[in-house]
Amino acid sequence: MANSPQDDAAGKPTKKQDKRAADIKGKAQHELHAEFENLLQSILTKPHLWFDRSLQYLRNFVATVSRGIDRHKFTAVEGDEALTVTDEKESSTTITTKFISSLAAGKNLPDDVDPILSVLSRKTGFHDHLHHESMIQNQKQKVKLTHLTLLDGDNNQIHARLATHLADIGRQLVEGDIIKLELFTPLTYHVKEDSPLMPALFILQYSRVGHAPVPLQK
């Protein structure tokens, strides 16, 4: 007795079933993209959502494609509604001059000007930290910190530390990145007990505004 076409196809999806599976997969992907787009639109209309702890993965991703070493691999595609970004070789951002020398001299800084500095080096790592809630028990916690060495327009250097909430995004900074300090606190410290006070910065908010090769250090 000959096998029927139905028996021959047993266990194999038909073209109709293949199409249905593809349609279901396509619909699921469309719904996923739509949901993610809604999330991004919500962040644009409610910027405070950007700082939600659950969105750290998104902040890390944005930092990687916009500021990471391989950021030039992630270019705009024709038809995108994207801003035109100036090539880093053509960056015309002016680095602030006399900023570090003014700090060192103890001069007051203008409140209406956000200094623009260049990144000479960046180091991110875990450090022991005595949290205020654990001081009684004298328990140290590991905290991720990002330290920077910055240059101003006079080629003077200053050490800086990013606030802990910026440690992850700050690790995407590379030599030559140009950053604008939007919120910071000037500090002073002694390299040695008998050495003069040196200026430093504690940065609470910054934005990357360009990239250019750093000047040769003497």
Q: Which of 4-8, 9-13, 102-106, 130-134 has the lowest mean pLDDT?
A: 4-8
| 186 pLDDT higher than 80 | yes
Of the candidates 28, 201, 9, the one whose C-alpha atom is nearest the C-alpha of residue 115 is 201
**Structure confidence at residue 191 (pLDDT):** 85
| 87 pLDDT higher than 50 | no
Q: What are phi and psi of 184, to 5 degrees?
A: -155, 165
* Per-residue tokens: 118: 């260049």
Its pTM stands at 0.57
Instruction: Compute the distance between CA of residue 47 and CA of residue 34 in angstroms, rounded to an integer.
Output: 19
Q: Which of 76-80, 131-135, 198-202 has the lowest mean pLDDT?
A: 131-135
* Per-residue tokens: 79: 């038809």
**Structure confidence at residue 139 (pLDDT):** 66
Instruction: Compute the distance between CA of residue 61 and CA of residue 82 in angstroms, rounded to an integer.
Output: 17
One-letter amino acid of 192: K
